[in-house]
Amino acid sequence: MKKFKYILFILIIIIFLTLTADGFGDLLICSRSLVSQMKTPHHAQQKFIASLPQDLDRKAYSRYFHDSQTLQVKYTPLVEKQIVQGDYGIYKIDQTGKRIIGTGSSRHADRRLLLLGASQTFGLYNPSEDSLASKLSTLLPNYQIDNYAVPGHTLSRNLANWLRINVVEQQHYDSVVVLNGPFDYISVCSDRDISHNKDQTLPRLLTIWKKITNKFSNSGTREDAQSSFCDDTRYQDMIVKHIIMDFDALKSYGLSQKTTTLLFIPPVPWGNHANVANLLQEEATKNLTMQYGAIAKKLSFYANQSTDIVDLSSIFDNIGNSFFLDLTGHLTPQGNQILAEQIAARIKEAH
């Protein structure tokens, strides 16, 4: 009996110590996460400001960066991320998720144009008057332009958002411009990490232990996982073909709506000869941008074989000026102007 009590006591002590260590591990991870969250916005802002082209107002762009951090999103079925209605400094969002452009509707507008895409199309870090939508509105005075682009949306989310706008908001358009594609491969290559995701299912104590042991081994690191398949040409082909399929789905939906659908691959700061001397690259991002460049070239190759997709990824090649605000491809006002001129010309040709 005494032996049984002794064994039971030992088991209780072991369980108690295990739970205590696990709880302490949770505390360490939570504390590190909180510290990281406090440091990240300030560090990201400093990096953003340091990368700006020299002719831009640093003080103004500090404010634009701050306003971008205040954007609130909500979950919408199928669409997933949608920006909540509100006034976010340089961003004004209505109840349907549309970004309001300062020019308003033209008195001469007799056509309607829907603009879909990710953060570049949305106009992240651009005040309303400098955004792509505003530039297009000036070039196309007979169009009412509705900017429903959402930062973080892939092509499949653009399609779901278009469906929401059509079915839920009961909005129909003469023309739809979709400017996207690069974010699809960015989201895959920068976020997917099988070994990292598996760690999330482990108890915190084991997660910490695994991270410690990984320091002394060459297996299971995030960098290895990132290199494992976005560097693989077969997966690059798969990613690009998936993007083309999503473009085709958007075109098909446009045909079903009797809408003129124009599909564009936007300018990117990799895989071409644009001036990106202002963009500061840390060692950790160089491999990713090399992957992006390889995939961008493949995407351009496939797009150029299609009669439905217009490749604008290299429109800044050999111009001399720098038109990118950062490594993720957000544009300066001059960059948006050049891009808008290219898109407006295609819209006029289509009609």
Give the per-residue pLDDT at 85. 97
Amino acid identity at 48: F
Helix (H) or strand (E) run with residue 114 in it:
strand 111-117
Give the per-residue pLDDT at 196. 36
- Measured distance CA(115)–CA(263) in Å, rounded: 11
Give the per-residue pLDDT at 323. 96
Q: Are strands 73-76 and 80-83 parallel, antiparallel or unpaired?
A: antiparallel
For the chain (351 residues), the mean pLDDT of every run of 10, in chain order, is: 68 75 59 51 87 94 97 94 96 97 69 97 97 97 97 97 96 97 92 42 46 48 58 94 97 96 96 89 74 95 93 94 94 98 96 76
Which residues sit opposite 81 in a β-bridge?
75
Exposed/middle/buried for 139, CB within 10 Å: 0-12, 13-18, 19+? Answer: middle
131's tokens = 């955004």
- In degrees, rounded to 5, the angle at the alpha carbon of residue 193 between the alpha carbons of residues 183 and 205 is 140
Q: Which residues of 213-223 are buried (b: 16+ CB within 10 A; e: fewer)?
A: ebeeeeebbee
Give the per-residue pLDDT at 192. 43
203's tokens = 């108890």
Domains of the chain: 52-350 (3.40.50.1110)
Give the per-residue pLDDT at 215. 45
**pTM (predicted TM-score):** 0.80
| Other CB atoms within 10 A of residue 114 CB | 26
69: phi then psi, degrees, rounded to nearest 5: -75, -15
Give the per-residue pLDDT at 209. 45
Give the per-residue pLDDT at 32. 54
* Beta carbons within 8 Å of 131's beta carbon, 6+ residues apart: 99, 101, 122, 123, 147, 336
